Amino acid sequence: MHCSPLIKRAAGDKYHPESFKQRWEILKKLGEGGFSKVTIGKRKSEEDSVYSGFGPSNASRDEVASEVAIKCISKEDMRNGSESEELVAREIQTFVTVGNGYPYVAQLYEVCEDEKFVYLIMELLSGGELFDQIVQRGHFSERDASAIASCMISSVAHCHSKHVVHRDLKPENFVFESRAHDAKLKLIDFGLAAIMASPASTFRTICGSPSYVAPEILYQKPYTYKVDVWSLGVIIYILLAGYAPFEAKDEKELFRRIKHDPVRMEGKEWDAVSSDAKHFVASLLEKDPRKRPSCEECLEHPWIEKGQHILEEQYHLEHTVKNLKQFNARRNWHAAVAGVTAMNRMARLAHLHHHVLRAVSETDQSEASPLEDKTNNEDEKGRDKSTSPQDGKVEDPVKEGLETSKETLTSSLKTKNEPADNKNSNAKHMPSEKEPFCSCAIS
């Protein structure tokens, strides 16, 4: 048996000592990326069913699908440095922490391994990505937007309650469980997530997706879980308008606009949107994270809390859906050209880090963050980061983040496993419209 102690500790009771080939049969490959591939699979033995082997303790046999998504992570890439074993373990630990039967987060059922791969046996989500389904369904009202926003915020609030910051929220990471009209919308891909020691924990690692990254990350200042709230604000803005709040021809200009430009809600798209919705989105896109609401506070806003009761069955947001079709087409095209989902996690961390530093170097160096000296200067370890680096060396947030995650993960796993409280030019094959979207990103 080829056992990785770190992976085993991270998975806890989700880890199965039998090898993958003893337990699972691969039915179909969905996609292949830089360091992993994703397949559809099922248990080899009908008698030893999926339900009996794993899954939520209160789930019935019918509630656990017979087919699962299997993410196969290359151990060779972990050995040669293309991927970090610590980050794989942290992703597993995060899924164990935030999943555990919670209905709006994709479930990790089991972890196996052999001499070549670590296998994550996960919930198979077949309903497609958020924006894809809105465009395909056609009719879309503000009431629909409120319901979707409530679901997304609830899933992120749950993560925060479990001391997990997602750090890469974007439309692609919200997927419907099926194509049924009442299908649940679930949060996926915890590859860049971080674990908070406390709600006041701050981080320095530059990560995320450019259009959805919070301004405090671009200022390279310590940031908190409030970066997730900003990203939700961007997604909900797009839900209501059909385009992003900040757009530009290149990332340098995009980052400048995110940091400095006001959020505008003008034009025929916004004329059809209620004042409650506008107020809500503006509060999430508050540039000062101290003034930005928490997810729990977001759920108490009238547009979310009472939206389904006070909003009339409003007319179809025609202009929004038209814009969203164009936005979605551009988004899918850029993802295909850039091969974004084929990047491994270390490359994803380095990608934004590189572009942020380049944008900063091309900007007036005298520019100061409006949050200067107002944030807690601690990193993931709680160290004071207010002093300048010695010898004039510039810190590498990516390297720091990896080193920090290794120490934090290793120490946390020693006391872990307590019961919980209550897409791509580099891809060799990508799913067609009729194929299911799996609950894990190809990275």
| Residue 365 token pair | 């160096």
Q: Quick one: 182 exposed, middle or buried, by C-beta within 10 A (0-12, 13-18, 19+)?
A: exposed
| Residue 236 token pair | 């909900």
By the 8 A CB rule, do 101 and 54 touch? no
Q: CA dist 80 to 83, 340, 399, Å?
A: 8, 21, 16
Distance CA(121)–CA(98), nearest Å, equals 16
Beta-carbon contacts of residue 273 (< 8 Å; ≥ 6 apart): 142, 240, 241, 265, 317
3-class SS string, the chain: CCCCHHHHHHHHHHECCCCHHHHEEEEEEEEECCCEEEEEEEECCCCCCHHHHCCCCCCCHHHCCCCEEEEEEEHHHHHHCCCCHHHHHHHHHHHHHHCCCCCCECCEEEEEECCCEEEEEECCCCCEEHHHHHHHHCCCCHHHHHHHHHHHHHHHHHHHHCCEECCCCCHHHEEECCCCCCCCEEECCCCCCEECCCCCCCECCCCCCHHHCCHHHHCCCCECCHHHHHHHHHHHHHHHHCCCCCCCCCHHHHHHHHHHCCCCCCCHHHHCCCHHHHHHHHHHCCCCCCCCCCHHHHHCCHHHHCHHHHCCCCCCCHHHHHHHHHHHHHHHHHHHHHCHHHCCHHHHHHHHHHHHHHHHHCCCCCCCCCCCCCCCCECCCCCECCCCCHHHCCCCHHHHHHHHHHHHHHHHHHCCCCCCCCCCCCCCCCCCCCCCCCCCCCC
| Residue 128 token pair | 């497609």
Distance CA(20)–CA(18), nearest Å, equals 7
Catalytic residues: 168
Strand-pair partners of 31: 38
